[in-house]
Chains A and B, each alone.
Chain A
Amino acid sequence: MSRLAAALVYAVLGAVTFVVCFPLLWAISTSLKPKEEIFRWPPTLIPERVTLESYRELLFGGAVASAPGAGVPPSAFFVDWFVNSVIVSVGSTAISITVATLAAYSLTRFRFRGQRAVPYVAILGYMIPSVIFVFPMFLTMVALDLPDTLLSLILGYVCITLPFCLWLMWAFFRGVPIEIEEAALVDGATRLQVFRQIVLPMALPGIIAASIFSLIVSWNDYLFGRVFMNSMDKLPLTVGVMHFFDGTHVDWGLMMASSVLMTVPMAVLFGFMQRHLVAGFGAGAVKG
């Protein structure tokens, strides 16, 4: 009976895993197919002939496109979009994490008016759908003469990621025993030394978690990129790849190759950082 139960559990788990993974598998498969195989019926999951044609066009298409007289195909901008996405994701994450870490630390360690309300107001702000404030924010960007710049996107992403990062770091710092910092103060460390040498290393798992969150949000965002950006060479990846879909035809090969290339950095990052996330922080420092 228990063997049957185990078999059932594995069957269900296998089915769920397949459903979850299928889109990714399909994207990888399609990205590796030659164009004529993509629409063949019945479809093939494993390409009969593997080609890197779509990837080549995305990554090196820019050189071809610069030939005089040729219309510039959207794929020529893929590398630009990729770089843009990296800049805005990393930039907004750096700002969000720096501000959130310092703010959360002060919220848990110093007493001031409204101290308890700040994290709750922040998390409330995060719950407002971004579609509500994207247009007011766009108008603000216009007033600041910032639309169609990467800086506007960075600021936009900071607005949506900062509240949650602040909340996360706040919850994290609340769990860091204050005696450890007091011990360092008694040992003769300055406030800054305490923060740099004691608090930050302890907060690393929290910082990594918040960074992953912020990177994923800004990397995957479509709305802000669509509203704020206009020039072809300044689009983020998510908005850019929509140009492979132009109303008359969809270039599924490029679309899927782009999807794979967009997924890879996040997957690698997550795989690498995951180890740090689970590193047993704090254990053993205070009574167990």
Chain B
Amino acid sequence: MTDVAIRRLSKSFGANRVLKALDLTVPSRQFVTLLGPSGCGKTTLLRLIAGLEQPSEGEIRFGERRVDGLPPGERNIAMVFQSYALYPTMDVARNIGYGLEVRGTPKAERRERVGAVARVLEILHLLARKPRQLSGGQRQRVALGRAMVRKPDIFLMDEPLSNLDAKLRAAMRGELRRFHLDLGTTTIYVTHDQLEAMTMSDLVVVMNEGVVLQIGTPEEVYARPANLFVAGFIGTPPMNLVPARNEGGRVTVEGHPLPVAAPAGAPAELILGIRPQDVSMAAPGEPGTIPGKVWMVELIGSERLIEVEIAPKLRVTAQVRASHRAALDDAVAVRLDPAQIHLFDPASGRALARDAGRETGAPPA
């Protein structure tokens, strides 16, 4: 079982610095997801781990073994590509067994191992077909089979579900998680889909602009975002982030005092974060609430999103039961659950007071 240690890893393409002295440890046997928006460097990081790119600086170790100078074939990794990257001229059996073939595994053993993997993935009946004769889901399974058959130290997956339709994607999420639990192979999974990250991972690594912003369990990054970027990126609908003030140790929003104390040493200007489901509707004038008027109402199935304008161009979204009725421009008030309020320093973007999880110390962009 292999852990992955990445130290001061940088990668530049010309003048474009994609990864900036990145540190990351992926514990052995864990399912770790690199999550971030497009262009955050997560795929580059995965390709560096695979050996498909060379780092500009820094080192990568698998266990005790330093691998950043090794070609991909000598790292004993397997990779599932976003596009599957099956060999179009080979049938499914040879696609899966190709890694064994180039390593000189005897034919009989190859056939046996390919058969075993195909049985697990339920693609035994497809072994004689060419990739172009397969559906998207079947190609996905072949790509997985090709990765599994070699018993690699580490699985690398680059958005492997993004080309599947929504229903199949949901099913494959469960299967991938199940395979990981059965095989126990260290897995690094790249995605921009936070639902995938939250449902499948042991650890989530949130990245932006070439740096790691937070590493934690899905619960940690959701409940205790380390900074403004993670707070805004994780969660649907996104967290409300509104300017607030520290007035003598008391937090106020638009002059309305809230039943929350500012932590010692907090700056005068703050950013207050609260998830829509922790915002409730109240009658105007109730103490500890912020008055406003209804700006927009959206029904999302069993619940309703009510956007309340508490100041010009400043809105707070409340997620309430669908039975709660509200009409546009109604005078209302919102109550913020004091236990669920997050406070951030606007200058550094860092979370204040609460335990910020395992923050890496890199400021968000």
Residue ranges of A at the interface with B (Cβ–Cβ < 8 Å): 177, 179-180, 182-190, 193, 198, 201-202, 204, 280-288
Residues of A within 8 A of B85 (CB): 177, 179-180, 182-183, 285-286
The CA of A198 and the CA of B102, in the complex, are separated in Å by: 12
Pick the residue among B74, B79, B132 that contacts A285 (CB under 8 A): B132
In this complex, the member of A190, A204, A282, A285 whose beta carbon has the largest number of chain B beta carbons within 10 angstroms is A285
Pairwise interchain contact B86-A186, C-beta atoms closer than 8 A = no
- The answer to whether B102 and A193 touch across the interface, beta carbons within 8 angstroms, is yes
Q: Is A284 in contact with B131, judged by CB distance below 8 angstroms? A: yes
Bound CA–CA A190/B102 (angstroms): 9
5 shortest A-B CB distances, which residue pairs? A284-B132, A188-B73, A187-B99, A285-B88, A286-B83
Tell me the minimal C-beta distance from B212 to chain A in angstroms.
24
B81 x A179 contact (CB < 8 A): yes
CB-contact partner of B81 in A182, A189, A193, under 8 A? A182
Within the complex, which residue of A186, A188, A190, A283 is in contact with B88, where a contact is CB–CB below 8 Å?
A283
Please tell me if the beta carbons of A284 and B88 are within 8 angstroms of each other in the complex: yes
Q: What CA separation (Å) do A177 and B83 show in the bound complex? A: 9
- Candidates B72, B86, B103; contact of A185 at CB < 8 Å: B72
A284 near B130 with CB under 8 A, answer yes
**Max count, chain B CB within 10 A of own CB: residue among A186, A190, A280:** A186
CB distance from A66 to the nearest CB of B (A): 51
Is residue B224 within 8 Å, beta carbon to beta carbon, of the partner chain?
no
Within 8 A of A (CB), among B68-120: 71-74, 77-79, 81-89, 98-99, 102-103
Given known contacts A202-B88, A282-B88, is B98 in contact with A184 (CB within 8 Å)? yes
Contact B73 A285 (CB under 8 A): no
B131 near A285: Cβ-Cβ < 8 Å: yes
Docked Cα-Cα span, A288 to B88, in Å, equals 12
What is the chain B residue whose CB lies nearest that of A180? B85
* B83 and A287 within 8 A (CB): yes
Give the contacting residue for B132; candidates A184, A186, A280; CB below 8 A.
A280
A195 vs B150: C-alpha distance when bound (angstroms): 22
Q: How far is the CB of A197 from chain B (nearest CB, A)?
A: 8
**Contacts beyond the supplied A188-B74, A282-B88, A287-B84: 5 A-B pairs with Cβ under 8 Å:** A180-B88, A184-B102, A186-B73, A187-B99, A285-B132
Which residues of A are found within 8 Å of B82, using beta-carbon distances?
Answer: 179, 287
User: Are A179 and B72 neighbours in the complex by a CB distance under 8 Å?
Assistant: no
Give Cα A202 to B88, complex, Å: 7
Please measure, in the bound complex, the distance between the C-alpha atom of A272 and the C-alpha atom of B297, giving whole angstroms: 67
Contacts of A179 in B (CB 8 A): 81-83, 85
List residues of chain B with CB within 8 A of the CB of A177: 83, 85
Shortest CB–CB separation between residue B156 and chain A, in angstroms? 8
Selecting from B133-141, B167-175, B196-204, B341-349, the interface stretch reads: B133-141
Q: Is the CB of B72 within 8 A of A182?
A: yes
Chain A residues near B78: list those with CB within 8 A.
Answer: 186
**Do A180 and B73 form a contact, CB below 8 Å, given A186-B79, A187-B98, A189-B102?**
no
Q: What are the residues of chain B within 8 A of A183 when measuring CB–CB?
A: 79, 81, 85-87, 146
How far is B163's CA from A280's CA once the two chains are assembled, in angstroms? 21
